[in-house]
Chains A and B, each alone.
Chain A
Amino acid sequence: MRTIFALAGVVIKELYRRKDFYVLFILTIVICVIMASVNIFNDNQIVRYLKELCLLLIWVSSLVIAITTTARQIPAEREQRTLLPLLAKPLTRTQLILGKFLGCWLACGLVLICFYAFFGALAASREHAWPLLSYFQAAILHWMALGVVIAMTLLGSLVFAAPSSNSTICFVVVATILCVGRYLDAVALSLHEPLRSVIYAIYYAIPHVEIPFEMRNLIVHDWPLIGWKFIGLDILYLLAYVAIFLVAACLVFRRKPVN
């Protein structure tokens, strides 16, 4: 376990050495501040459009950070020829995968803390309220969804040849799930066999990361808290997909030549 954490620590250090997070964070702040400065009929209590924009930017930024950071982990080790020395140490391939995953996931968690702190401050500046539990629910499910994305990207980095192709494919897949994942069953109902069964199979197979994504509406429009039972179930559902992708990644990596 210590080895996995040591490896994760290296990945986290890599994140704060790189400029991706700073650029995206500052860009989010600048866009939100500019939008907040717009005068809308001399009413400075209007806030929901800002909350929606800010949450959307947080989701986009976190996905960019998660996918780009994860996609280059193993290919970079291979390119720099550090993979073989790394595996020569008392470190199994499974530990390497888990370490890389944990590092990326924890790094994304830290990123989310910064982003949601800014979001809370922005909302409180207009609403004068701190619905911290709602924000916690949103952030925790967001982090779990990023876990699925990271595990999927890690698997992709072992399957696809280049980090760029892996990143692109992951972006397309995640964006498609976020946009239409929830409605695939409705689409399937309007189709004839065998396409209907194919779409249904996809619907049940994909990780529904759009559930935390669509939860933004509850935060934006100040809906009451979601029951903790449902939060717990969704966490378990997303963790199951994390486990599936990680097991698949370990199996693929076990048979992959290091050089």
Chain B
Amino acid sequence: MNPARTLWLLLVALFVFSFGLAAKLQPQFQSLESTRRQSANFFSLLLGDSSKIFANAFFVKADAYYHSGYYPTIFDNNSAFQTPHIAEDTGAVASHNQGAEDIGFMGPPRDWIDAFGRNFIPNRHTHLDEGGPTDDLSKSSQVREILPWLKLSAELDPENIQTYLVTTFWLRTRLDKVSEAEQVLREGLRNNPGNPQLFFELGQIYDENYHDIARARNIWEAALRSWAREEPDVPQSDRLKMTLENFDDRFMFEQLQTSLALLEEKSGNTAAAIARWQQAILAAPSTADMQQHIEDLKHKLAEQPSPASSK
């Protein structure tokens, strides 16, 4: 056989084989991609699941920056630093910290080298948003220094909701960077579609910063639908039972219903507000104040002239 012809035939055969192999493997890769959304992330590809360990380390690093370097190591008493203060101060997480922060984790000096060395390290508890080591409140915007580590932490572990919430809190409330905060939340929602906590924060931006009540309402209602979809087989009454295990579930539900109730009050929809408050009561640990507020709203509604009588 002509060698050139043989080569051509071989080339065609290889082409057919590679096309067939690609057609066979492509669906499998697609399903793999959908189960590993984060695989597009460079760090996740490089580090795999260990990226979460690094993400946590960088989150703690952000907290160390918040304290201007005054931070316990594994050799120190870190009972007052179990929950990072940058997260604790946002109210987004429950605190596990024990003991007073200001007493200090270092304790008395162990020996003269330790006592001498303490003159060369940060040795006082400060927070960056309270002026840091200089106690100068005009420098409270220096809290921006925690942002690089939070950004890196979010890149490494895009499924950690806490990182987005903390980043958003500092950007929105202390640095007045609302647009950037919104971008962070949208990035979080891209990585964690339909997360109620992220929706809640986004709604807050539209309500408090953009004063766009209609959109805030839509977002919070979407958050409630997402909340319900999280565990479709569990009845709402079970998810709202007063147990420690479902604290996060209850807290989220209450926050959403309360925010919607306040929004309805602001819009003048008293009847809708009462309905929301009644829902919020289902998840609230103490209901007396809410009950009183509902009664006040009912009185207010009763005093309002009905549309028919006003005509």
Q: Which A positions have Cβ atoms within 8 angstroms of B? A: 38, 40-43, 45-49, 182-183, 185-187, 189, 203-204, 208, 210-212, 214-215, 217-218, 220-224, 226-227, 230, 233-234
- 27 A-B pairs with CB atoms under 8 Å apart are A38-B148, A40-B147, A41-B171, A43-B177, A46-B144, A46-B148, A49-B65, A49-B145, A49-B148, A182-B117, A185-B111, A185-B113, A187-B75, A189-B110, A211-B117, A212-B120, A215-B121, A217-B69, A218-B122, A221-B65, A221-B122, A221-B132, A222-B134, A223-B122, A223-B133, A224-B133, A226-B119
A-B contact sample (5 more), CB < 8 A, given A48-B145, A183-B73, A222-B134: A40-B147, A41-B151, A208-B113, A220-B69, A223-B122
State which residues 46-79 of B face A: CB under 8 Å: 65, 68-69, 73, 75
Q: Does B149 contact A (CB under 8 A)?
A: yes
State which residues 121-156 of B face A: CB under 8 Å: 121-122, 132-134, 144-145, 147-149, 151
Which residue of A is nearest B73, CB measured?
Answer: A183
Q: Does B180 contact A (CB under 8 A)?
A: yes
Q: A41-B147, A212-B120, A220-B69 are in contact. Are A203 and B113 (CB under 8 A)?
A: yes
* B-chain residues with CB within 8 Å of residue A45 when the two chains form the complex: 144
* A-chain residues with CB within 8 Å of residue B134 when the two chains form the complex: 222, 224
| A232 CB to nearest B CB, Å | 12
* B-chain residues with CB within 8 Å of residue A218 when the two chains form the complex: 69, 120-122
Which residue of A is nearest B181, CB measured?
Answer: A41
* A-chain residues with CB within 8 Å of residue B113 when the two chains form the complex: 185, 203-204, 208
Q: A182-B114, A189-B110 are in contact. Are A227 and B119 (CB under 8 A)?
A: yes
* B-chain residues with CB within 8 Å of residue A226 when the two chains form the complex: 119-120
* A-chain residues with CB within 8 Å of residue B177 when the two chains form the complex: 41-43
Please list the 3 inter-chain residue pairs (A to B) with the smallest Cβ-Cβ separation, ordered nearest first: A217-B69, A221-B68, A183-B75
Which residue of A is nearest B65, CB measured?
Answer: A48
How far is A250 from B144 in the complex, measured between Cα atoms in Å?
A: 53
Interface residues as binary, B8-43 with A (CB distance below 8 Å gives 1, 0 otherwise): 000000000000000000000000000000000000
Interface residues as binary, B247-278 with A (CB distance below 8 Å gives 1, 0 otherwise): 00000000000000000000000000000000
Which residue of B is nearest A221, CB measured?
Answer: B68
How far is A208 from B120 in the complex, measured between Cα atoms in Å?
A: 12
How far is A42 from B113 in the complex, measured between Cα atoms in Å?
A: 43
Q: A186-B110, A214-B121, A218-B122 are in contact. Are A230 and B116 (CB under 8 A)?
A: yes
B132 & A222 in contact (Cβ 8 Å cutoff):
yes
Which residue of A is nearest B67, CB measured?
Answer: A221
How far is A189 from B111 in the complex, measured between Cα atoms in Å?
A: 12
Q: A46-B144, A221-B68 are in contact. Are A214 and B110 (CB under 8 A)?
A: no
Instruction: Classify the secondary structure of A's interface with B.
Output: helix
How far is A182 from B120 in the complex, measured between Cα atoms in Å?
A: 12
* B-chain residues with CB within 8 Å of residue A211 when the two chains form the complex: 116-117, 120
Q: Does B228 contact A (CB under 8 A)?
A: no
Which residue of B is nearest A41, CB measured?
Answer: B180
Q: Does B92 contact A (CB under 8 A)?
A: no
Our pick among B120, B144, B145, B175 for the contact of A215 (Cβ within 8 Å) is B120
* A-chain residues with CB within 8 Å of residue B73 when the two chains form the complex: 183
A186 & B145 in contact (Cβ 8 Å cutoff):
no
| A193 CB to nearest B CB, Å | 17
* A-chain residues with CB within 8 Å of residue B144 when the two chains form the complex: 41, 43, 45-46
Which residue of A is nearest B119, CB measured?
Answer: A230
How far is A182 from B175 in the complex, measured between Cα atoms in Å?
A: 37
How far is A230 from B115 in the complex, measured between Cα atoms in Å?
A: 11
* A-chain residues with CB within 8 Å of residue B121 when the two chains form the complex: 214-215, 217-218
* B-chain residues with CB within 8 Å of residue A47 when the two chains form the complex: 145
* A-chain residues with CB within 8 Å of residue B114 when the two chains form the complex: 182, 185
* B-chain residues with CB within 8 Å of residue A49 when the two chains form the complex: 65, 145, 148-149
How far is A55 from B3 in the complex, measured between Cα atoms in Å?
A: 66
* B-chain residues with CB within 8 Å of residue A233 when the two chains form the complex: 116
How far is A217 from B124 in the complex, measured between Cα atoms in Å?
A: 13
How far is A211 from B114 in the complex, measured between Cα atoms in Å?
A: 10
* B-chain residues with CB within 8 Å of residue A187 when the two chains form the complex: 75
How far is A40 from B151 in the complex, measured between Cα atoms in Å?
A: 8
How far is A221 from B134 in the complex, measured between Cα atoms in Å?
A: 10
* A-chain residues with CB within 8 Å of residue B120 when the two chains form the complex: 211-212, 214-215, 218, 226, 230, 234
A223 & B68 in contact (Cβ 8 Å cutoff):
yes
* B-chain residues with CB within 8 Å of residue A220 when the two chains form the complex: 69
A185 & B175 in contact (Cβ 8 Å cutoff):
no
How far is A234 from B175 in the complex, measured between Cα atoms in Å?
A: 40
Which residue of B is nearest A213, CB measured?
Answer: B120
* B-chain residues with CB within 8 Å of residue A222 when the two chains form the complex: 68, 132-134
Which residue of B is nearest A224, CB measured?
Answer: B133
How far is A45 from B180 in the complex, measured between Cα atoms in Å?
A: 15
* Residue with the highest number of chain A CB atoms closer than 10 Å, among B114, B116, B120, B134: B120
| B120 CB to nearest A CB, Å | 5
How far is A5 from B65 in the complex, measured between Cα atoms in Å?
A: 45
| A125 CB to nearest B CB, Å | 16
Q: A42-B177, A222-B134 are in contact. Are A185 and B110 (CB under 8 A)?
A: yes
Which residue of A is nearest B122, CB measured?
Answer: A217
